[in-house]
Amino acid sequence: MQGLMMNTPLTITEIMTFADKVYGSEEIVSVTADNPRHKYTYKDAFTRVRRLANVLQGLGAKEGDTIGTLAWNDHRHLELYYAISCSGMICHTVNPRLFEEQLEYIINHAEDRFIFTDVAFVSLLEGMQDKFSKVKGFIIICDESSMPNTSLNNTHCYETLIEGKKELFEWPTLDENTACSLCYTSGTTGNPKGVLYSHRSTVLHCYASSLPDSFCLSARDTVMPIVPMFHVNGWGLVYSSLMVGSKVVLPGPKMGDGETLCKLINEEQVSLSAAVPTVWLALLEYLEKSGDSIDSLNRIAVGGAACPLSIMTQMEELHDVHVHHAWGMTEMSPLGTFNTLKKGMEQLPKEKLNEIRIKTGRPIFGVNLKIEGPEGESMPWDGVSSGSLKARGPWVISQYYKQEKSATDDNGWFETGDVATIDSDGNMSITDRTKDVIKSGGEWISSIELENCAVDHPLVAEAAVIGVPHPKWTERPLLLAVLKDGAKLSKFELLAWFEDKVAKWCIPAECIFVSTLPHTATGKLSKKTLRDEYKCFQWDN
C-alpha cells in the first residue's frame, strides 16, 4: 500500500524559491575580478537568476542542454548554477586548471552548447575554440567595461545580456530525477569521466550535509566555500548554504591567498569555511606572519586530501577553530563521511582523541559504506581490517555519463578505488588506493603505510613501495628509496628500520636505492610507471 503524502519533487528550484521567500534579505558577498567586494541579497540574486533564465532562453538554449562554466567562486557563478539547473538544463562546471586536451575532451564529450567564462580564461579558450564541436557561443562573465578584446566567435557580455531582461520567469516543473549538473573526474589514467547529478541527489545531499554532524549549517552561519565551485559544486555548499539561509562569502579568484581570506573572514564575520589542506596551510602561514586573528571563524571542513594533524592542532590551539576532516568524491556529490565526535569522546586523552580525529569520520546518513576483502567478503569494522571501500546511496553515482557500463558492482555498490579501514564507531580511514595495495598471501599490505614509514627515516628523501609479482605470495612489497643528498645507508639498515614499526610480514622484501622517482603531471608519485618498470623483477626467494 502506498502512503498518501504529497509527491512534491526534490528540486533545486525548491531550494531557490524557499530561500528567496524565507531568507530573501540574507547576504551574498563576493570578490570578483572587477569588484573587490560585491554585496547583494538572496532576493537580488534570484531576481538576476530569473533574468539570466530569460537570457538562456533568448540564446536558444533548451531543456536538457549542457551549459559550460569556467569560473571562480563568485555571485555570477552562483547565479549560473541556479538559472541553468532550474531551467532544466545541465550546469557543466569545467575545471580551468585541466590540461588543454582534457578541456577539449570534456567540453566536447559534455556537448556544451554555450560556455560562460571568466575573463581570465578567455585566452585559454581562444586557442581551442576551433576544436569545440557543439559550442554555439561564449558569454564572458563581466560587465561591458571589463570586456576583453577577443577572437572568440559569437561572444556576449554577461551583464549586458542580463540588463533589461524580464524579472519574471516561469520555471519548468521538473521531475526530481532530472539531471542538474555535470562534473568530470580528472582521473590519473584514461579520459576524464562525467558524473551527472540529479535534482534529487543534490537536494538529498543538501539535507544530509547540513546536519549537525556534517557542516552543521544554520541561518546564523556565514559560510565561505573556498573549495572551487568547479569541484563537485563547491562540495554542495552553494546549494545548502542558501537552503538554510546562511550568509555566503565567495572569495573569487583569491581562494589561495591567505591575506585575502583572513580579511574576508574578519570583515564578513565568516563562521564556517571549507577547503583542501593547502589552503589552510597558506592561511596559517599568513596568520603567523601578520599576527592577525580570525575570531569569527569557529570551524572548518577539510577534504580533498588527508589533513595533517599539525594543521588541526595549529588551527585549534592558536585560533580556536575546530577542524573537521571530511571525505568525499566527485562520484558522491561529494560528501561521504564527516568527522565529528560522538558523546563522551571529548573526555578521551588527547592522543586517543587525535587518533580518531585524523580519520575521515563517520558516514553521513544516506551513505552506506562497506569494506570488502580480497575474496569479496565483508570485512569487520574494527579499525584494523582493511578492504576495498564501496559506497551506496541516493547521491552516489550509478553510471558515468555516456558510458554503457554501470559504475557499480553486481550488487549495486560503487567501488571507490580506495582501500580503507572502518572502526567500530564508523570512522573511516583510507589506507591506500586499490590499485596500489600489495596483495600478499591473501592479505593486503598498504603501500602508503610503508612509504610513510620509510620517509620517517632521517636519511630518506622520498620512497615508493609497489607490489611485484611473486611466485609464492602473489605479490611482495618492493621499496624504492631516494636518499637525502650525501646520506649513506645500506638496504639492510633501511629494512631493519621497519622492524618495530610494521607487522613482520609487511616489511618490504627488497629495497633498491634510486636517484629519482617518476611523478605524474600533478606531482603525484607515478606508481604505474614503477610497476611497469619492475614487473619482471626477480625475487631472491
Binding residues among 203-262 for its own copies as defined by CB under 8 A = 204, 207-208, 210-213, 216-222, 243-245, 247
Select 390 or 457, whichever has its Cβ closest to its own copies.
Answer: 390
Task: Pick one of 2, 149, 189, 411: the residue that binds its own copies (CB under 8 A).
Answer: 2
From the candidates 17, 155, 160, 185, which is the catalytic residue?
Answer: 185
Report the 3 state secondary structure along 488-499.
Answer: CCCHHHHHHCCC
Grid look-up 560562460 returns 116
Q: Which stretch binds its own copies (CB under 8 A): 13-21, 127-135, 288-296, 461-469?
A: 13-21
Residue 173 or 515: the one with the smaller Cβ distance to its own copies is 173
Cα dist from 54 to 138, 155, 175, 366, 523, whole Å: 16, 17, 21, 36, 44
- Give whole-number Cα distances, 355 to 2, 29, 290, 298, 447, in Å: 46, 37, 31, 22, 20
Please say which residue, 152 or 391, places its beta carbon nearer to its own copies.
Answer: 391
Nearer to its own copies, 75 or 200 (CB): 200
Considering only residues 71-110, where is the footprint of its own copies by CB under 8 A? Answer: 90
> Which of residues 5 and 521 has its CB atom nearest to its own copies in the complex?
5
Q: How many CB atoms lie within 10 A of CB 267?
A: 12
Minimum Å gap between C-beta 29 and its own copies is 13
CB 237 within 8 A of CB 223: yes
- Determine whether 235 is an active site residue: no
Q: Which residues contact 161 (CB under 8 A, 6 or more apart)?
A: 55, 58, 59, 139
Q: How far is the CB of 62 from its own copies (least distance, A)?
A: 11
Q: Binding pattern to its own copies, positions 171-200, x when CB under 8 A? A: ----x-xxxx--------------xxxxxx
348 binds its own copies (CB under 8 A): no
For the question of residue 439 being annotated catalytic, the response is yes
Please confirm, yes or no, whether 21 is among the known catalytic residues.
Answer: no
Are 172 and 63 within 8 A, CB to CB?
A: yes
Q: Is 47 in the site for its own copies (CB under 8 A)?
A: no
Candidate residues 73, 314, 330, 340; the one interacting with its own copies per rule CB under 8 A: 340
Per-residue x/- mask for its own copies, residues 296 to 335, rule CB under 8 A? -------------------------------------x--
Q: What are phi and psi of 333, to 5 degrees?
A: 80, -5
Residues 368-407 that bind its own copies (CB under 8 A): 368, 381, 392-401, 407
Stretch that binds its own copies, among 202-210, 319-327, 448-456, 499-507 (CB under 8 A): 202-210
Read off the DSSP letter of residue 129.
G
Q: Indicate the SS3 state at residue 234.
A: helix
**Which among 171, 280, 444, 473 is annotated as catalytic?**
444
DSSP H or E stretch at residue 454: helix 447-455
Total binding residues toward its own copies, as defined by CB under 8 A: 79
10 binds its own copies (CB under 8 A): yes
Backbone angles phi, psi at 497, to 5 degrees: -55, -30
How far is Cα 358 from Cα 40, in angstroms, rounded to an integer? 38
Q: Which is nearer to its own copies, 83 or 90 (CB)?
A: 90
User: Which one of 186, 191, 408, 526 is in contact with its own copies (CB under 8 A)?
Assistant: 408
Query: Kind of pairing, strands 438-440 and 443-445?
Result: antiparallel
DSSP annotation of 457 reads S
| Separation CA 156–CA 46 (nearest Å) | 21
Q: Which is nearer to its own copies, 20 or 436 (CB)?
A: 20
**List 145, 164, 291, 343, residue binding its own copies (CB under 8 A):** 343
Asked if residue 8 binds its own copies (CB under 8 A), the reply is yes
**Binding range to its own copies, per CB under 8 A, among 47-55, 281-289, 421-429, 510-518:** 421-429
Nine-digit cell at 467? 607490489
DSSP track, 136-162: -EEEESS-GGGPPP---SSEEEHHHHH
Among 97, 100, 365, 376, binds its own copies (CB under 8 A): 365
CB of 362 to its own copies, least distance (A): 6
Burial (CB count <10 Å: 0-12, 13-18, 19+), residue 404: exposed
Q: Which of 134, 136, 435, 439 is catalytic?
A: 439
424-443 residues near its own copies, rule: CB under 8 A: 424-426
Contact 288, 282 (CB under 8 A): no
Minimum separation from the CB atom of position 32 to its own copies (A):
24
Cell numbers linked to 452: 610513510
Instruction: Return d(Cα 364, Cα 381) in angstroms, integer.
Output: 16
- Report the C-alpha gap between 282 and 270 in whole angstroms: 17
Active site residue 444: yes
Nearest distance in Å: CB 231, its own copies: 18
Residue 166 CA to residue 172 CA, distance in Å, equals 16
**From 64, 148, 187, 441, residue interacting with its own copies (rule: CB under 8 A):** 64
Residue numbers annotated as active site: 185, 331, 439, 444
